[in-house]
Amino acid sequence: MKLNKNFTLLVTGESIANIGDVLYMVSLISMVFALTGSAGAASVVPFTITSSMFVSSLLTPLLIGRVNLKWLLAGSQIGKTVLLLVLGAVVAMLTVENYFYVFFVVAGIALLDGVATPIRQTLTPHYVEPDDLLRANGIAQTITQMIQMGMWFVGSLFLLIVNAQQLIWITGGLFALSSIILCFLQSVSKPTRVSERKLEQIQEGWKTLWKVPVLRRIAVMDGLETIAGTVWIAAILLVFVTDALHAAEKWWGFINGAFFAGLIAGSLYCVKYASQVEKRLGTHILVGAVMSCVITFLFGFSKLPVLALLFSFAVGLFGQMKSIPQETVIQTSVPKEKLSTVYTSLGALSTGIFGISSLGMGILADWLGIQSVFLVSGLLLAIVSIIVIRSRGIFVRHIV
């Protein structure tokens, strides 16, 4: 596999930033909970982040075409560094009466994060040869999931050694290092035509999703899968472990860890067998969709913690075996110049739906019981499977 050195810089810079993101979240949630003693106040942190990233996904198209993508990515990381250093400076002055000011900084960092994610996905095809694109996506996903699985544990251990403010300073150092690395990326060409009308700029990605048949179907699938995926949030999993499995809380961590292990296994499969997956993108998307549906049903009605653990691993495995080929389809379905607006639209769709559906799933679990949400999730994934079966022929790698 021949990777442009820029891909290595991109993955390295983003990985360091992702490590910092997790440590920042650990320190912030710990700090807010220590100040207030309220789990509800601590839960406002992820809600603020999701809401801000949704707004950012809607507004990012206004910058695309006016700012070079490389500098848009590096600049967003530099902005995050500055905001985090400000947060580190004011932490010592926070009290239970004024802690809510933290959420303004959190919102600012999340707004910048919402810019970075679609730009990273857009830059990958610029730095990688078409034949290596699927393997590159697999490598990026493997590293991301390993960071997600390991750093929450590492972050918790850090808090045994340093306090929340010191952990924020450490995160600031990681953000600064990431910013420096991303500044060394090679610049890529900007779109040749940019509308002067702001509404048209915001609508461009949505119009592309609607006009390109495969992207239209993927957008629908993403929406359904986002709703279905909210059953895997920590709060619902904890209730499932205690009420459905009647198991100790430690199984909550085991099952959550097994899901991330499955994601990593799926990514590694796509990296190792990239050429075979490349030849059968539609088949892998179909198998991943159908198996995710079946296993979600099995997980929801499982009674043994060990079985739930295995099913959680399998959901992560088959979900990733579907998502990596699907990302390759997206990246090759439109010209590279349009990818950034496509990804910002898909990002807005997923974050907006996730925020609403996570609340809805929680209400449904209280109303009909915890197993009902897994039944709903399985039914939504069944609809996704039907869409893939009916449209399997269009899930191929295009040359645009």
343 contacts 110 by C-beta, under 8 angstroms: no
Enumerate residues 6+ apart whose C-beta is below 8 A from 309.
251, 254, 255, 258
pLDDT value at residue 41 = 64
Task: Give Cα 52 distance to the centre of its chain.
Answer: 14
Q: In 10 A of CB 303, how many CB atoms?
A: 10
CA geometry: angle at 173 spanning 168 and 178, to 5°? 120
- The parts of the chain modelled with pLDDT lower than 50 are none
Domains of the chain: 5-188 (1.20.1250.20), 203-394 (1.20.1250.20)
How far is it, in rounded angstroms, from Cα 235 to Cα 342? 31
pLDDT value at residue 164 = 80
How far is it, in rounded angstroms, from Cα 340 to Cα 15? 20
Q: What is the pLDDT of residues 357-367, one digit of tens each?
A: 877 887 888 88
284 contacts 262 by C-beta, under 8 angstroms: no
How far is it, in rounded angstroms, from Cα 79 to Cα 133? 29
**Helical spans, DSSP H, in 332-369:** 336-368
Q: What is the pLDDT of residues 133-150, one digit of tens each?
A: 889 989 998 998 888 878
Strands (E), 262-345: none
Specify the 3-state DSSP secondary structure of 355.
Answer: helix
- pTM for the full model? 0.81
CA nearest to 93, candidates 84, 101, 103: 101
Tell me the residue length of the chain: 400
Q: In 10 A of CB 389, how many CB atoms?
A: 12
pLDDT value at residue 395 = 83
CA distances from 281 to 178, 200, 273, 322 (A): 33, 33, 12, 9
pLDDT value at residue 362 = 78
pLDDT value at residue 289 = 95
